[in-house]
Amino acid sequence: MQKITVVGAGHVGATVAQYCALEELARQIVLVDIIEDLPQGKALDMWESAPVSLFDTRIIGANDYGPTEGSEIVVITSGLPRKPGMSRDDLREKNVEIAKLVTAEVVKASPDSIIIMVANPLDVMSWVAYKVSGFPKSRVMGMAGILDTARFRSFIAEKLDVSTEDCQAMVLGGHGDSMVPLPSYTSVSGIPLKQLMSEKDIDALVERTRKGGGEIVALLKTGSAYYAPGVAVAQMVESIAKDKKRILPCAAYLEGEYGIKDTFVGVPCKLGAGGIKEIIEVELTDEEREALHTSAELVKEQLALVEL
Ligand code: NAD
């Protein structure tokens, strides 16, 4: 891949750029922000780490979209993060305006790009990027599920005292407290979680996963998580850039899958060249299906408040 753009050179954006550079996922990464000199400074600092970290990806910073022209993937992280006491939905009004402006610029500079939305409230922002860009649904997606499953997996590994590598998990739904972790699709080296942990312990980890973002916000006090979100985005970029066809939970536009229409919500997607190649529909219990529908309805309530 030739060029990846990351819009927003804040905590998440800079972390995404760094992981993508470390993995040499493109020849060039452009970091864009409205704050003068900030993206240039962070880009230069990262580039100066290249001889030690051993990568040749060139990272540059910019305050306009000229240098981003022709990007194949654009990651949008521009927007306010949460502070203690805020829900992701509290960010909606401000971040919608930013997403509209940024998406319009992205379309002009990189009309064939794939957009990965990161700003919150994630499902709403993904929908805004989809509507404003006019891109096909395969080329607009949101990152949330990889982060939510990573949190669940890290808690499982800690509880069972096993390698994180062996912990697999699945989380569906909107990126909020209504997300739907699926213990029935969660396993450790292929062993169903239910054989390794009591129902009570699983429920406690599910609850911690739902509130995982808030746990970090409460600790950081001045912003939200960025290490785990950054690497989660890089995993999506890698699957697309290398056409790996990984099946990863992503926010995707649904047109009837899971009985849900006209909204973005987290579902397992096959990611490869061109973006979302397929949405995978897994069997759900009645209870899980109901929780997914409730989660999608909550996203739709937010969408109804958005003016495009
Ligand atoms: P941050 O404040 O550190 O960075 C945001 C950056 O966006 C700032 O540097 C700001 O100047 C820039 N920005 C604002 N308006 C812009 C515009 N019009 N054009 C270009 N840049 C602009 O925040 P952060 O911690 O990096 O978080 C960024 C967003 O990502 C937040 O909305 C946060 O809630 C979200 N987030 C999402 C997930 C997820 O799982 N999807 C995880 C973590 C954070």
CATH 3.10.180.10 is right for the domain spanning 145-303: no
Low-confidence ranges of the chain (pLDDT < 70): none
Contact 153, 130 (CB under 8 A): no
pLDDT tens digits, residue range 288-298? Answer: 999 999 999 99
At the topology level of CATH, where does 3-142 sit? Rossmann fold (3.40.50)
Contact 212, 222 (CB under 8 A): no
**φ and ψ at 87, to 5 degrees?**
-95, 165
pLDDT at 12: 98
pLDDT at 266: 96
pLDDT at 87: 84
pLDDT tens digits, residue range 124-176? Answer: 999 999 999 999 999 999 999 999 999 999 999 999 999 999 999 999 999 88
Q: What is the CA(118)–ligand 1 centre distance, in A?
A: 8
Would you give the DSSP letter of residue 307?
-
Of all residues in the chain, what percent carry a pLDDT higher than 70?
A: 100
Residue among 38, 78, 115 whose CB has most ligand 1 atoms within 8 A, to mutate = 78
pTM of the model: 0.98
pLDDT at 82: 85
Alpha carbon distances (Å) from 280 to 172, 192, 246, 247: 11, 20, 11, 8
Nearest ligand 1 atom to the CA of 229 is 42
pLDDT at 88: 87
Burial 8-27 (b: 16+ CB within 10 A, else e): bbbbbbbbbbbbbbbbebbe
Ligand 1 surroundings by CB, under 6 angstroms = 7-13, 32-35, 77-82, 91, 95, 98, 101-102, 118-120, 122, 143-144, 147, 175, 223-226, 229
Give me the helices (H) in 49-198, please. Answer: 50-53, 92-109, 122-133, 145-160
Q: Which residues on neighbouring strands pair with residue 117, listed in sequence order?
A: 76, 142
Query: What are the residue ranges of CATH 3.40.50.720 in the chain?
Result: 3-142
Query: What are the residue ranges of CATH 3.90.110.10 in the chain?
Result: 145-303
Q: Report the DSSP pairing between strands 140-142 and 187-188.
A: unpaired
pLDDT at 83: 84
